[in-house]
A = this chain, B = another copy of it.
Amino acid sequence: MGKCLPERLDRTFHALADATRRAMVERLVLGPASVSQLAEPFDFALPTIVKHLRVLEDAGIIASHKAGRVRTYQLAVDAMAGATEWIARQRMPHERALDRLGGLLAENDAE
Interface residues of A (CB under 8 A from B): 6, 9-14, 16-19, 22, 25-26, 29-31, 75, 79-80, 83-84, 86-93
Chain B residue, CB-CB nearest to A7? B19
For the complex formed, measure the closest distance between the CB of A5 and the CB atoms of chain B, giving whole angstroms: 10
Q: How far is the CA of A80 from the CA of B91 in the complex (A)?
A: 10
Would you call B29 and A92 a contact (CB within 8 A)?
yes
- Sample 25 A-B pairs with CB under 8 A, ordered by A number: A6-B22, A9-B16, A9-B19, A10-B17, A10-B18, A10-B19, A11-B17, A12-B17, A13-B13, A13-B14, A13-B16, A13-B17, A14-B14, A14-B17, A16-B83, A16-B87, A25-B90, A26-B89, A26-B90, A29-B93, A31-B93, A75-B90, A80-B90, A84-B88, A87-B87
